[in-house]
């Protein structure tokens, strides 16, 4: 478990945040976050006052990384890069999350290392983490300003034989009673622009591998844009399926077999492929070592799936 309970006794009264800084070698803001999140108890009571002096029986719930051997593929003095497998969270959702990429980030990068951006749990591919606070500030700012160019790979339904682009605004869904999509294409939404370039067509699975280049960073941008042009990503349990299937997925009732038959794959076939940016007068172009080309283990044959495809094109 990445979160452990550290139990100890404090003899002499000491401000809580100072105790945390000294015991765990962390900064004052980090110590205050631990207190704010209710992760320190004194004599069985959750501490609420950041500056109060504490003594006696103390329990701190602290993150302790445990690596599962997902080794970094590239490292500098400022950042570290991983090829994240599908199905793994970047950050733990709760204290009960058994494992996330933060375990690997901290195991290989140290206590100040932190993921500089987010990737959806089911999306595989490149994850970059800063190794110190200055690098974290730079990288997060670079992602926000789009100074880091990203490309993805996606296996999609059907044959795509020429490049195309989608320039359609996206808005967050506020009503899940009709459809389970997280976002919609809407004239009232925020600008979203994605380029798509076909790489290879697999006739056996009736699927095309696309290069996807997002020029904006909207939630589920690639997924909703591909759904909009009737080439949804294989394995997508939200965009391209009916309401019941999406609901079963969100409630964790959709089996791998049913998902493979209904969506074409047991996972979302989207992969973060490359990162291109400048930092400290150096230019980096980092490419995933996972070629993301073998469909045999994840994908179902496409001939019998058509009757399961959502007629949700009409939603737009």
Q: Catalytic amino acids?
A: 120
Decide the pairing of beta strands 79-84 and 114-115.
unpaired
Q: Is 228 left (phi over 0), alpha (psi -120 to 50) or beta?
A: alpha
Longest Cα–Cα distance in the chain: 72
3-state SS, residue 106: helix
For the CA atoms of 122, 123, 129, 133, what is the dihedral angle to 10 degrees? Answer: -70
Question: What does the DSSP 8-state code read for residue 85?
Answer: P
Decide the pairing of beta strands 207-214 and 270-279.
unpaired
Strands annotated E in 64-99: 74-75, 79-84
Query: Closest by alpha carbon to 121, among 137, 106, 102?
Result: 102
**Which residues does residue 186 pair with via DSSP β-bridges, in sequence order?**
none
Please report where in the chains the tokens 């969506």 appear, as a residue: 263
Structure tokens at 45: 């009571």
Strands annotated E in 76-123: 79-84, 114-115
């Amino acid at each position: 478990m990445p979160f452990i309970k550290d139990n100890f006794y404090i003899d002499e009264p000491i401000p809580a945040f100072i105790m945390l800084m000294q015991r765990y070698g962390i900064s004052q803001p980090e110590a205050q976050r631990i207190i704010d999140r209710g992760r320190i108890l004194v004599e069985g009571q959750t501490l609420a006052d950041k500056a109060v002096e504490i003594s006696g029986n103390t329990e701190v719930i602290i993150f302790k990384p445990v690596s599962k051997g997902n080794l970094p593929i590239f490292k500098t003095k400022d950042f570290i890069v991983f090829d994240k497998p599908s199905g793994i969270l970047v950050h733990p959702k709760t204290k009960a999350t058994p494992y996330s990429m933060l375990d690997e980030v901290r195991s290989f990068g140290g206590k100040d290392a932190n993921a500089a951006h987010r990737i959806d749990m089911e999306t595989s591919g490149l994850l970059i983490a800063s190794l110190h606070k200055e690098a974290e500030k730079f990288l997060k700012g670079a992602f926000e300003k789009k100074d880091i160019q990203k490309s993805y790979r996606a296996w999609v339904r059907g044959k795509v034989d020429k490049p195309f682009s989608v320039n359609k605004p996206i808005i967050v869904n506020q009503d899940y009673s009709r459809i389970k999509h997280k976002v919609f294409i809407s004239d009232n939404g925020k600008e979203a622009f994605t380029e798509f370039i076909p790489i290879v067509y697999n006739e056996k699975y009736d699927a095309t591998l696309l290069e996807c280049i997002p020029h904006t960073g909207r939630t589920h941008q690639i997924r909703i844009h591909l759904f909009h042009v009737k080439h949804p990503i294989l394995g997508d349990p939200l965009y391209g399926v009916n309401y019941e299937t999406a609901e079963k997925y969100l409630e964790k009732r959709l089996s791998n077999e049913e998902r493979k038959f209904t969506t074409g794959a047991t996972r979302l076939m989207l992969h973060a492929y490359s990162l291109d940016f400048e930092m400290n007068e150096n230019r980096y172009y980092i490419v995933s070592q996972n070629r993301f080309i073998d469909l045999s283990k994840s994908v179902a044959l496409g001939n019998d799936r058509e009757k399961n495809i959502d007629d949700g094109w009409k939603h737009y």
